Structure 1
Amino acid sequence: MRIRDQRAYDEPGIDLVPLIDVILVLIIFFVITTTFDVRSTLQLQLPVASAQQPAPPKTLNILVNADGRYFVGEQEVLRTDVEAVKQAIAAAAGDDRELPVMLRADARTPYQAVVTAQDALAQLGFRRIAIATAPEPQS
């Protein structure tokens, strides 16, 4: 008589749970790292003016893009209210209120966004404010 082993035979297989975990981590990594390059895609179309003066060597740069988002120096301001813009400007400028300010706003920027930036600068005591423009096209 044959004596058979009653144990079930194990079928070889691939466990997918660790593979899914690794793929999920890679997807999260790629999603997060693609958002680091936001400033390089910032395209400004400056308004046109006939006369253009060079900017002083040390200036505080404030950028307002077409969507009305603010960038003070190298940092983006996350909120668009006056208080948030004032805090970002004060942090970038420190105590120097004589520092020249270059306000660069896209030509398609809502007017209120430019006024908000100018209001924040005035409330902080900045008086040397220049607005960047592009030269007129030569015809």
Structure 2
Amino acid sequence: MKFRRQRRDDLAINLTPLIDVVFLLLIFFMVSTSFTTQTQLSVNLPEAKGEKGVSPARLKLTIDAAGSFALNGTPIPGSPQGLRTALTTTAGDSRATPLTIAADGEAAHRYVVRALDVASQLGFQQLTIAAQTPTLASPEAQ
């Protein structure tokens, strides 16, 4: 007696549903991702070594360790509105005047960021952060 062999289908993985799922996951992650825009502020950082530059018309914003602000030696309020008012009255309409921010090493970072943010919003183009020449005896210089 001769038996007929049953026909076997070739085993294969159907890729269509897999591709559909991958595309759905891709679309889900693209839609659910939140993109944040970060603003950048161009700052000219001075070298730690070198000679002092001389500039006739310069604004100097000083921040001490307690967070007190002074513009050209005159105490000013530390709020953003106070900084904005003091900078606009001192600089006038000229935003090309160089602005140097000299912060104490113990001053909180938020005060420096606040000063940089206000200066950026007002449109100052030449910002400098003051640095001190390191001494050889200090452990931080090594």
TM superposition score category, shorter chain reference: 0.5 to 0.7
Indicate the percent of aligned positions where both proteins have the same amino acid: 24
Query: Residue 92 of structure 1 aligns to which amino acid in structure 2?
Result: T
Query: Residue 88 of structure 2 aligns to which amino acid in structure 1?
Result: A
SS in 2 for 1:117: helix
| Unaligned ranges ≥5, structure 2 | 1-46, 138-142
The count of corresponding residues between Structure 1 and Structure 2 is 90
**Residue 93 of structure 1: aligned partner:** 91
Partner Cα separation in structure 2 for residue 90 and residue 52 of structure 1: 31
Alignment of 1:19-98 (within 5 A): 50-52=48-50, 54-55=52-53, 56-78=55-77, 80-98=78-96
Query: Residue 62 of structure 2 aligns to which amino acid in structure 1?
Result: L
| Unaligned ranges ≥5, structure 1 | 1-48
Q: Which runs of structure 1 show a deviation greater than 4 angstroms over 4 or more consecutive aligned residues?
A: none
Q: Quick check: 1:70–1:76 contact (8 Å CA) kept in 2?
A: yes
Give the counterpart of 1:111 among 109, 112, 134. 109
- TM-aligned CA deviation for residue 53 of structure 1: 5.3
TM-score using structure 1 length? 0.59
Partner Cα separation in structure 1 for residue 116 and residue 75 of structure 2: 17
SS in 2 for 1:88: helix
Q: Choose 1 or 2 for highest CA Rg.
A: 2
